Amino acid sequence: MAKQETPERKKVVFFSMIPPSDNARLETMLGYANAAALLDYETLIYFFLDGALIGKQQVFNKLDQKIRDRVREALDNGVLLRICSAAAQTFGIDNKNIVPGFEIVGIAFFYAYAENANIVLTWS
């Protein structure tokens, strides 16, 4: 009997520069990302510019509770939360003050991931 190949999961990428102060857009974008993960999309949110601040522990702790819950839900759903390394450097985000579950990666990571994505959404 021939081995059946498992189909590759579809990928969706969210390219987000939403600042931490914009609760409505952040909550909506995180809701869409969580829905994608629950629909079995491999889901990535790439935070750049002001959006990177969401991954800084001191900023995250001051976010609205709904946003913090949505971020934790995203992590529980397997959403990959990545911060642009240039933005991380600009805002003083490093492995000592990053929110657990977030990772700092370069733009090359984003391009490589997005290149094979089925859907790429920009949230600004």
**In this predicted model, what pLDDT tens digit does every residue of 39-82 receive, in sequence order?**
999 999 999 999 999 999 999 999 999 999 999 999 999 999 99
What is the model's pLDDT at position 8? 81
Per-residue model confidence (pLDDT) at position 32: 97
| Other CB atoms within 10 A of residue 81 CB | 23
DSSP-derived secondary structure for 53-67:
GGGBHHHHTTS-HHH
Residue 29's pLDDT is: 96
Q: Which of 78, 80, 69 is nearest to 102 (CA)?
A: 80
2 band by pLDDT with thresholds 50, 70 and 90: low
pLDDT given for residue 4 in this prediction: 62
In the chain, alpha helices (H):
23-38, 57-60, 65-76, 85-90, 107-115
